[in-house]
Structure 1
């Protein structure tokens, strides 16, 4: 029997924060990256909110601290980061919505414009197996500081989704899509049932004009903001 596909953005949608920004603060605090990274990232995230971010430049800047380091060196830090910082940031409503889809028998997929080294383990905590995220290059288990393939950002999310669907050999009855960001307009415009979750002002206006469902999820921990 054909099932529905439920597609979730990650940052500010399933969690009450941006995981990449929190990770950058985390590695600066750990002495793995210079404080200047946060100033640089802040400017880039301002561009992101306006829909003008150069994602290739962002990934190069934020992956630079990992360059030359091994997966085995970084993984314990990622585990600590997810346990201490990300898990408390998960929206309870997000877990409930994922469970709602799971009980229906829907196929759940997270598509994120964050590096897979963060997205995959976060998805595991959320109980989601299938992930599309930015490929972070490693050679013999060593981070190169580069990315590979199509960046899953803006139209890149749609391109990566289409490739993923071809690999699934599965006909879906329909699709749901959830995101907070105007950067995901190409993806939300593609799905059958789009939902704007805590949308930024531009997406909120678009959602209202299109009569999309707007969902307001709240988190008690203001420290995460």
Structure 2
């Protein structure tokens, strides 16, 4: 049995899903107020001056602070069932099935949010390591529980969760610089679906 590590956004899906989930799940009033407030951050991100991690952290703080966790979990389940199927990359699903046919352990390792990604992975029988939202007294705090699962945090959590020495081969699939540290752990690495030496 080998180990296959898959990023989610842009690797299993055809596009990033974080903004789509925020639009789907955040209270409408906050979305309307947030659009002009976040415009400079979004522009900075597109110019490479603001990191994706910063945008995501600020979006969660603004969009979800104080919102009941049960509501966001319910919206996450709906998002996984109603929105994600149309965004999936057929090539990724075929590759996941290939690993399944080989008897490999398959883990989705993503900065995506637990409230929808855990549901999607459960539906597909996949293990998951992802970013988690902090809950206190039944409400979201607007912060992550721990660090965002990006960059070096991805490989740290994989090492913490999977005994790498148990696997003869490790495969890893990603599509952004946030995945490169995870890819460096693998014997077979694929960046934007191209094999790396």
If the TM-score is normalised by the length of the shorter chain, which range does it land in?
0.7 to 0.9
Name the residue aligned to 1:223: none
In the alignment, does 2:41 pair up with 1:43? yes
Name the residue aligned to 1:129: 126
Contact 2:12/2:92 (8 A) holds in 1: yes
CA distance in structure 1 between the partners assigned to 2:99 and 2:66 by the alignment: 40
CA distance in structure 1 between the partners assigned to 2:185 and 2:39 by the alignment: 30
1:146 counterpart SS class? strand
1:120-176 Cα distance to aligned partner (Å, 9 max, x none): 122234x1431111121112332111112232111111111111125xx97111100
Distance 1:74 1:149, change over 3 A: closer
Q: Which residues of 2 match residues 119-158 of structure 1 at below 5 A?
A: 119-125=117-123, 127-158=124-155
1:171-200 Cα distance to aligned partner (Å, 9 max, x none): 1111000111122111112211001225xx
1:68 counterpart SS class? coil
1:60-119 Cα distance to aligned partner (Å, 9 max, x none): 432432222222222332232222221111112211111110110000000101221222
The TM-score, its normalising length taken from structure 1, stands at 0.75
In the alignment, does 2:186 pair up with 1:191? yes
Name the residue aligned to 2:4: 6
- From 176, 190, 197, the equivalent of 1:181 is 176
Query: How many Å apart are 1:6 and its aligned residue?
Result: 0.2
Query: How many Å apart are 1:50 and its aligned residue?
Result: 4.2
Name the residue aligned to 2:81: 83
Q: Which residues of 2 match residues 87-106 of structure 1 at below 5 A?
A: 87-106=85-104
Larger CA deviation: 183-192 vs 169-178: 169-178
- From 18, 21, 32, the equivalent of 2:19 is 21
Alignment coverage as a number of residue pairs = 196
Unaligned regions of 5+ residues in structure 2, if any? none
Distance 1:86 1:152, change over 3 A: same
Name the residue aligned to 1:163: 160
| Cα root mean square deviation, aligned | 2.8
Unaligned regions of 5+ residues in structure 1, if any? 199-206, 214-225
